[in-house]
Structure 1
């Protein structure tokens, strides 16, 4: 299992590097300004300088080594052996999403109609569901998972909070996928606020209540 995980991370890094190299080849064809942010209806909100294409494409190349290094410097690094598969799922999903975003931006800049608002929302939904399903496997550490003062203090609080968080992540994923097919700015804004603020608040409150009960 450990060799398979290491092989996956090597392949992931190679994919990120190849993606960056291809971006270098298409760079001369890009316009002076490229789209880097869209509204929920698919309208471009923000343009960036041409060099931002390489910045966005380079982030996944840096993310993979960083995520490989973090477990090695974590004081609770022994626990990564217990949730290596969950960590690899998160690393793979995040890296591929970032690579995908770099290409959505580049293709849009080149004039292709990519429907980024739909593709990105579905991709994020799939990522949340994948991570949510693996969250109960995550063991206590300082870099990965729901790290509140109470989960880090009590292993039982950590375990139960991640079980609860996994359910929340799956629900968020489904809502992202459903939201991909709504072109309402209001719906998407409310959805993001509820998911981002509500989920963080719920997990913090849940872990605190558990800690008080078990303490």
Structure 2
């Protein structure tokens, strides 16, 4: 197992801490309620108390620290040595996306016209495509990957499911990117949501079918 924080992760942690400091600096300027959730047309669908800005700002640091600590408490910790690049991509992608979302919320709260309905789906889409391209590298763990009873039971089922899952994740990412430009209610609820739910169901069924074939 490589050391807990290499240079790349130290830089990422510094970015997250600087982001938190920036939120602390603008905190007095924020209104008492800030937007924390938006509908597909870009309108605010949920508001939070002012302190939620600091919660959103601290979240990237907490997630980063948890994801770096997870390999050390995972019973299958040795497998993280076999996919360090894939795991680092996930950590970097998730952390940067959370930082971006925290600032989009803050700028929106300050009254700036932020194109939420384009920026957030685009960021999620890029993250899904990055995940899809790294999934075939992922080895069996309890914290990271597609965990079904059958993938955890059989390493070959895990490998085949993640290879197939990588394709589905890339497809989901493309649909998120499309929703950034065609983000109507019909597209999101009629196409994007069914694609996500359908992909989850397909992966679950696929891993079971592969497992049954290997058993027989």
TM-score, structure 2 normalization: 0.96
Q: How many residues are aligned here?
A: 215
**Segments of 4+ in structure 1 off by > 4 A?**
none
Q: Is the 8 A contact 2:172 2:196 kept in 1?
A: no
Alignment RMSD (CA, Å): 1.6
- Aligned residue number for residue 14 of structure 1: 14
Partner of 1:147: 147
1:55-134 alignment runs, 5 A limit: 55-134=55-134
Long gaps (5+) in structure 2? none
1:208 counterpart residue number: 208
Deviations 1:17-65 (A, max 9, x none): 1100100000000011101111100001111111000011110111111
CA distance in 1, matches of 2:85, 2:183: 36
Which runs of no fewer than 5 residues in structure 1 stay unpaired? none
1:133-167 CA deviation, whole Å, 9 max, x = no partner? 00000001100000111001111100000000000
Q: Distance in 1 between matches of 2:183 and 2:93?
A: 25
**2:47 maps to 1:25:** no
